[in-house]
């Protein structure tokens, strides 16, 4: 396989069309409500609603604290906006802010398992907004105000804090300040600066700018060393134009009047204003080793490329994920609220904010252990100029920040339910991580660091073309579309996709390599009844044979197909060209993610009625895939029976498979036969104290293909599980086959898994 040079700064990107499709595909928007209790029987309904519901009603009326026990309140946050300062896009109104607020709600869930809904309040009037929110306290454990412009945001937050007994936290203010302060501390350390003598300029005297100034002063910056600027220039003592009381509180005694004046010789600039506000000349005029945090979203005050072009001693951070040092409040809000909710805090105070900032700063200074190294774009980051702040996908964030926040809440007396054992709390927190999302993100990052050439066999299909464009736009490598040029171009035009650099078209009929591919096929198939002319036909007319031959002969690193042809037929095509890896068995593994748990299920693709030997082989392959995904395998050999009861022929085969694994002395945990509930439930497993699994299984080996296929499809359709796969494992070349109804995002996932060679 060709190993290309690692890309230094991968830039995942996307087209406007991709962004719109992402939001409109399936159910429009990004979240839905899922019940946590069964609603199946009359009894369930009687308990969930009238009359049973009256019992917790009375309990809460008697003791309001029990609302945390009987309702969603304790884990529920509202993200509330009026859309007056949406990112750096300005006042576009409450409705237009909804995609951002929904996005924030799902990030709460994704990163810290906080349930969250978005509320868009359609008023610019501070009093009306306050009145709309102040009565919502009973519904939520916390309120995250978002994208509300200054100065109204200060009035709104202050007043709601006074009126409500739960944390009210304007994230653009404090979230930004916490992350920026953490990054700043580390940048000061790297450049050997003393906090008390460092000169900071903050451009943007709005929500984020003012909060940053307040936090850094609370953490030790000298008030005279901090200059605030806005659209009118420096906020100096005596200025009258465009002022308000929050700016006045930080008005500096200075001769500087413009941002350019203020930046001369300054050590640090925080940009919290708009795209392009910093010029080359300003950057040039700063002190040696200047620290530039250009945090305007979606486009920074100056790009890192431009700043580095001006001088090479800059330490640079932006709000974007496609450059090093992302100062984005997603590093904070999920984890800060997690800690605050877990102690039922009445507020998020300055001590909790400082604790979060320090925990973040400390984390970046630590060595990155192996299990998290891959989260960092394939290269292990080391504390320094390009790594002053952890990345949002760092799996350590969930165990560090909430603990620091909860501890500070307890120390400052705002915790209604203190946590006695913080170490046990830390362990509980790690279970809240969605492991497969993190794992997939890591795989994407790895592939980005070593981009690959992936051939998409069905290159004339619109979904495939969209997937190929997305693959290229995300910096994952080169996409080769197999098809007739005019058809591919017409389908691309119809799909609104630009066939940009990085997408190649290969017409099997015209390719100069088709003869080599035909010869490969002939060498392999001549004793299976194929004449040379059959092989020429296969290579030049059949996209799967052509694409698989490209991979077999090293013209591509991996292949994806399956959208237009049944799985088993596509697999037959591929198997004419590629064998199993020597000593391996080809199987299908599906990743099932449901209710925060991830299990691998096998064999979901190949063996119809596996023999005992085949079942044992499937277990070995699946366990190695689990390790490749970063899990220590606990393999359950499933049947309808558990440890011999009830007896039956199929269960006997599974028992034999366990004996075979015993004889092979494999290096992973396995046991069986057992029923699925015993494999997955700690309580059910406890009935069999001799069971050799140390905990619930994370790899399920199904007794036959039908049970594997039926159960994963039922989980997907009835259980709301996310199922990725089947992923083909054990082939000598990385080739993946998607199901017939696959979407473009499934194709991209499979292309990435092929590029990562997950089955190798
Ligand atoms: N990276 C991150 O995590 C975050 C980034 N941000 C970014 O910070 C920026 C500000 O957000 P927020 O504070 O919520 O917005 P606000 O509307 O509350 O404040 C905007 C501030 O920027 C000032 N400003 C606008 N244009 C300029 C300019 N050309 N030069 C100097 N100052 C200017 C305004 O000045 P005036 O007072 O004179 O009108 C105002 O003080 C946005 O780009 C936002 O995306 C915000 C939160 C988090
Ligand atoms: C990130 C964010 O909250 C903002 O740019 O407004
Ligand atoms: Mg915001």
Of all protein residues, the one whose alpha carbon is nearest to atom 20 of ligand 1 is 206
For residue range 448-469, list pLDDT tens digits in order.
888 899 999 999 999 999 999 9
Cβ proximity of 436 and 591 under 8 Å: yes
Pocket test for ligand 1, best of 173, 206, 302 (most atoms within 8 A of CB): 206
Task: Kindly tell me if the per-residue pLDDT of 346 is higher than 50.
Answer: yes
Question: Other C-beta atoms within 10 Å of 659: how many?
Answer: 11
Q: For the chain, what percent of residues have pLDDT higher than 90?
A: 78
How far does residue 175's CA lie from ligand 2's centre (Å)?
Answer: 9
753-to-105, 444, 456, 599, 662 alpha-carbon distances in Å: 28, 8, 13, 17, 31
Beta bridge partners of 78: 117, 143
Of all protein residues, the one whose alpha carbon is nearest to atom 38 of ligand 1 is 231
Relative to beta strand 226-230, strand 233-234 is antiparallel
Pocket test for ligand 1, best of 230, 248, 300, 327 (most atoms within 8 A of CB): 230
Cβ proximity of 743 and 750 under 8 Å: no
Pocket test for ligand 2, best of 180, 328, 330, 332 (most atoms within 8 A of CB): 328
Question: Rounded to an integer, what distance in angstroms lies between the CA atom of residue 515 and that of residue 511?
Answer: 8
Beta bridge partners of 119: 80
Q: Which atom of ligand 2 is nearest to the CA of 295?
A: 5
- DSSP H/E element including 518: helix 514-525
Question: Rounded to an integer, what distance in angstroms lies between the CA atom of residue 157 and that of residue 145?
Answer: 8
Q: What SS3 state is found at 701?
A: strand
Task: Kindly tell me if the per-residue pLDDT of 12 is higher than 60.
Answer: no
Say what the pLDDT of residue 373 is. 63
Q: Which atom of ligand 1 is nearest to the CA of 90?
A: 17
User: Does ligand 2 have an atom closer than 6 angstroms to the CB of 147?
Assistant: yes
Say what the pLDDT of residue 760 is. 62
Q: Which atom of ligand 1 is nearest to the CA of 147?
A: 14
How far does residue 591's CA lie from ligand 3's centre (Å)?
Answer: 34
- Among residues 30, 104, 407, 733, which one is catalytic? 104
For residue range 27-50, list pLDDT tens digits in order.
899 999 888 888 878 888 999 999
Cβ proximity of 147 and 333 under 8 Å: no
Question: Rounded to an integer, what distance in angstroms lies between the CA atom of residue 269 and that of residue 199?
Answer: 9
Q: Which atom of ligand 1 is nearest to the CA of 210?
A: 13
What mean pLDDT comes out for the span 92-110?
A: 96
The residues placing their C-beta within 5 Å of ligand 3, an ion, are 147, 172
User: Does ligand 2 have an atom closer than 6 angstroms to the CB of 97?
Assistant: no
Grade residue 595 by pLDDT with cuts at 50, 70 and 90: confident
Beta bridge partners of 478: 453
For residue 176, the ligand closest to its alpha carbon is: 1
Greater model confidence, 249 or 447: 249
Grade residue 1 by pLDDT with cuts at 50, 70 and 90: very low
What mean pLDDT comes out for the span 361-387?
A: 75
Q: CB under 6 Å to ligand 1: residues? A: 85, 87-88, 149-150, 172, 176, 203-209, 229-232, 242, 272-274, 277, 295-297, 319, 327-329
Say what the pLDDT of residue 447 is. 86
Question: Rounded to an integer, what distance in angstroms lies between the CA atom of residue 685 and that of residue 693?
Answer: 9
Say what the pLDDT of residue 43 is. 87
Task: Kindly tell me if the per-residue pLDDT of 210 is higher than 90.
Answer: yes
Q: Is 323 among the catalytic positions?
A: no
Beta bridge partners of 143: 78, 168
Task: Kindly tell me if the per-residue pLDDT of 375 is higher than 60.
Answer: no
ipTM above 0.95, yes or no: yes
Say what the pLDDT of residue 6 is. 36
Task: Kindly tell me if the per-residue pLDDT of 377 is higher than 60.
Answer: no
Say what the pLDDT of residue 496 is. 81
Grade residue 7 by pLDDT with cuts at 50, 70 and 90: very low
Q: Is 49 among the catalytic positions?
A: yes
Beta bridge partners of 537: none
For residue range 254-288, list pLDDT tens digits in order.
999 999 999 999 999 999 999 999 999 999 999 99
For residue range 519-573, list pLDDT tens digits in order.
999 999 999 999 999 999 999 999 999 999 999 999 999 999 999 999 999 999 9
> Range with the lowest mean pLDDT among 201-215, 690-704, 739-753?
739-753
Pocket test for ligand 1, best of 172, 316, 392 (most atoms within 8 A of CB): 172
The token pair that represents 378 in the structure block: 């394939």
The token pair that represents 519 in the structure block: 């010869």
Task: Supply the mean pLDDT for the chain.
Answer: 92
For residue range 124-161, list pLDDT tens digits in order.
999 999 999 999 999 999 999 999 999 999 999 999 99
Question: Rounded to an integer, what distance in angstroms lies between the CA atom of residue 686 and that of residue 683?
Answer: 5
Query: The tokens 């002969």 sit on which residue?
Result: 553
The token pair that represents 655 in the structure block: 């028992």
Question: Rounded to an integer, what distance in angstroms lies between the CA atom of residue 356 and that of residue 179?
Answer: 8
For CA atoms 277, 283, 285, 286, give the dihedral sign. positive
Task: Kindly tell me if the per-residue pLDDT of 400 is higher than 90.
Answer: yes
Say what the pLDDT of residue 448 is. 86
- Provide DSSP, 714-730: HHHHHS--EEEEEEEES
How far does residue 104's CA lie from ligand 3's centre (Å)?
Answer: 9
The token pair that represents 674 in the structure block: 């057992």
Q: List, in order of start, the domains of the chain with CATH numbers.
A: 174-433 (3.40.50.720), 442-575 (3.40.50.10950), 587-730 (3.40.50.10750)
Q: Name, in order, each residue with C-beta under 8 angstroms of 61's C-beta and a sequence gap of 6 or more.
A: none
Grade residue 371 by pLDDT with cuts at 50, 70 and 90: low
407-to-42, 174, 180, 400, 490 alpha-carbon distances in Å: 44, 18, 22, 11, 60
- Does 298 sit behind a cis peptide bond, omega within 30 degrees of 0 on the bond before it? yes
How far does residue 496's CA lie from ligand 2's centre (Å)?
Answer: 29
Q: Which atom of ligand 2 is nearest to the CA of 329?
A: 1
Q: For the chain, what percent of residues have pLDDT higher than 70?
A: 95
């Amino acid at each position: 396989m060709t190993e290309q040079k690692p890309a230094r700064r991968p830039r995942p990107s996307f087209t406007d069309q991709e962004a719109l499709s992402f939001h409109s595909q399936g159910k429009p928007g990004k979240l839905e409500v899922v019940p946590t209790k069964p609603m199946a029987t009359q009894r369930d309904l009687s308990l969930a609603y009238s009359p049973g519901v009256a019992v917790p009603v009375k309990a809460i009326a008697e003791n309001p604290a029990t609302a945390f026990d009987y309702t969603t309140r304790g884990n529920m946050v509202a993200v509330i906006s009026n859309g007056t300062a949406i990112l750096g896009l300005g006042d576009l109104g409450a409705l237009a802010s909804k995609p951002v607020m929904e996005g924030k709600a799902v990030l709460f869930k994704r990163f810290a398992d906080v349930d969250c809904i978005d509320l868009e309040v359609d008023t610019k009037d501070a009093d009306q907004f306050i009145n709309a929110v102040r009565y919502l306290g009973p519904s939520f454990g916390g309120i995250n105000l978002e994208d509300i412009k200054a100065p109204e945001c200060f009035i709104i937050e202050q007043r709601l804090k006074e009126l409500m007994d739960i944390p009210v936290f304007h994230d653009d203010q404090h979230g930004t300040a916490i992350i920026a302060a953490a990054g700043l501390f580390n940048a000061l350390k790297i450049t050997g600066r003393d906090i008390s003598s460092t000169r900071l300029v903050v451009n943007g005297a709005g929500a984020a700018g003012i909060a940053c100034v307040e936090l850094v002063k609370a953490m030790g910056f000298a008030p005279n060393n901090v200059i605030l600027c806005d659209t009118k220039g420096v906020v100096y003592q005596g200025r009258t134009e465009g002022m308000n009381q929050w700016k006045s509180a930080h008005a500096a005694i200075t001769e500087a009047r413009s941002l350019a004046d203020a930046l001369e010789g300054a050590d640090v600039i925080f940009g919290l204003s708009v795209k392009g506000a910093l010029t080359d000349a300003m950057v040039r005029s700063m002190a040696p080793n200047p620290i530039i945090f250009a945090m305007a979203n979606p486009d920074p005050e100056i790009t890192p490329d431009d700043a580095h072009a001006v001088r090479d001693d800059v330490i640079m951070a932006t709000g974007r994920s496609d450059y090093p040092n992302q100062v984005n409040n997603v590093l904070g809000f999920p984890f800060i609220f997690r800690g605050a909710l877990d102690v039922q805090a009445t507020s998020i105070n300055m001590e909790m904010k400082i604790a979060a900032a320090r925990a973040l700063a400390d984390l970046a200074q630590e060595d990155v252990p192996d299990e998290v190294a891959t989260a960092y774009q394939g290269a292990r980051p080391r504390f320094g100029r390009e790594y002053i702040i952890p990345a949002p996908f760092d799996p350590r964030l969930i165990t560090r920040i909430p603990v620091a926040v909860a501890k500070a809440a307890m120390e400052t007396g705002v915790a209604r339910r203190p946590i006695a054992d913080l170490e046990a709390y830390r362990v509980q927190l790690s279970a809240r991580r969605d492991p497969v999302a993190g794992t997939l993100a890591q795989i994407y990052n790895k592939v980005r660091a070593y981009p690959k050439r992936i051939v998409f066999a069905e290159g004339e299909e619109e979904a495939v073309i969209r997937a190929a464009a997305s693959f290229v736009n995300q910096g994952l490598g080169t996409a080769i579309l197999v098809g007739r040029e005019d058809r591919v171009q017409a389908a691309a035009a119809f799909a609104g996709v630009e066939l940009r650099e990085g997408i190649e078209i290969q017409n099997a009929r015209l390719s100069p390599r088709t003869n080599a591919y035909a010869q490969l096929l002939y060498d392999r198939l001549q004793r299976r009844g194929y004449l040379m002319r059959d092989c020429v036909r296969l290579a030049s007319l059949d996209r799967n044979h052509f694409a698989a031959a490209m991979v077999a002969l090293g013209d591509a690193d991996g292949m994806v197909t399956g959208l237009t042809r049944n799985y088993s037929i596509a697999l037959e095509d591929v198997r004419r060209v590629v064998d199993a890896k020597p000593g391996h068995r080809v199987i299908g593994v599906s990743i099932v993610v449901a209710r925060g748990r991830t299990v691998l299920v096998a064999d979901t693709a190949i063996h119809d009625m596996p023999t005992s030997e085949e079942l044992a082989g499937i277990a070995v392959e699946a366990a190695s895939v689990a390790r490749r995904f970063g899990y220590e395998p606990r393999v359950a050999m499933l049947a309808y029976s558990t440890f011999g009861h009830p007896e039956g022929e199929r269960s006997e085969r599974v028992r034999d498979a366990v004996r075979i694994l015993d004889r092979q002395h494999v290096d992973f945990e396995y046991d069986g036969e057992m029923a699925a509930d015993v494999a997955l439930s700690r309580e059910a497993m406890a009935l069999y104290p001799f069971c050799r699994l140390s905990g619930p299984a994370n790899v399920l080996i199904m007794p036959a293909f039908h049970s594997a296929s039926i159960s994963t499809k039922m989980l997907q359709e009835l259980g709301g599980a996310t199922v990725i796969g089947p992923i083909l494992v054990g082939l000598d070349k990385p080739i993946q086959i998607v199901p017939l109804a696959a979407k473009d995002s499934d194709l991209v996932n499979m292309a990435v898994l092929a590029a990562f060679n997950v089955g190798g």
